[in-house]
Amino acid sequence: MAESLEGRPADLPVEGGAFVAVVGPSGAGKDTLMNFARDALAGREDVFFVRRVITRPADGATEDHIPATAEAFEAQLKQGKFAFHWPAHGLKYGLPVEIDTRIRAGHCAVCNGSRAALQGLGERYANFTVINITASPDVLAGRLALRGRESEDEILRRLARSANLKVDWPGAIVVDNSGDVETAGRALVAAILEASAKSSET
């Protein structure tokens, strides 16, 4: 379960800028598109990409996160170092508390999201947008097979689970990454800028 916001302080929800959660099933190419968008928006001070704290070692193959042991994560949690945190897939995820300062200053945070955290994040941030990266089942299966981490049966089971986990969020923006990276990457950049522009109008 994501962090409960019951009894939350008066300064929530966080207003000013925007929070963009980018979600998508394994094989959709979420990390690849996030890297594309990060490079494309590198010159903009009003858009920043969140490095999540995760209880998983850095491997250079997945997202550029801040690794932490389970003990270190709990210590940071007790010290109030996280703006938001949640468990998923046997791991713990935390968002550095500093992101709230930048959002209150009118900036747009872009974060690799999780379906399990969307409800809580939507309650915490006044200007909240979900971008769902998708791809056709054949493309997903092919990409997962190229990773070589799972058997064919395991891949089929993963795809079946993904099909049952719909991202049902009002106004969610869908980016299809079944084709070339540049086309989907530009669509992701446009969606991020759209979310950022909406926040400046509120």
pLDDT value, residue 6: 45
pLDDT in tens, the chain (202 residues): 355 444 455 578 999 999 999 998 877 888 899 999 999 999 899 999 999 999 999 876 667 899 999 999 999 999 999 999 999 879 999 999 999 999 999 999 999 988 889 999 999 999 999 999 988 877 777 766 666 555 666 545 655 555 544 556 788 999 999 989 999 999 999 999 999 997 655 5
pLDDT value, residue 76: 97
pLDDT value, residue 75: 98
Q: Which residues carry a binding-site annotation? A: 24-31
Q: Where do the domains of the chain lie, and which CATH numbers do they carry?
A: 18-197 (3.40.50.300)
CA–CA gap between residue 81 and residue 78 (Å, rounded):
8
pLDDT value, residue 92: 96
pLDDT value, residue 29: 85
pLDDT value, residue 154: 57
pLDDT value, residue 4: 45
pLDDT value, residue 7: 43
pLDDT value, residue 198: 77
pLDDT value, residue 46: 94
Q: Which residues carry a binding-site annotation for ATP? A: 24-31
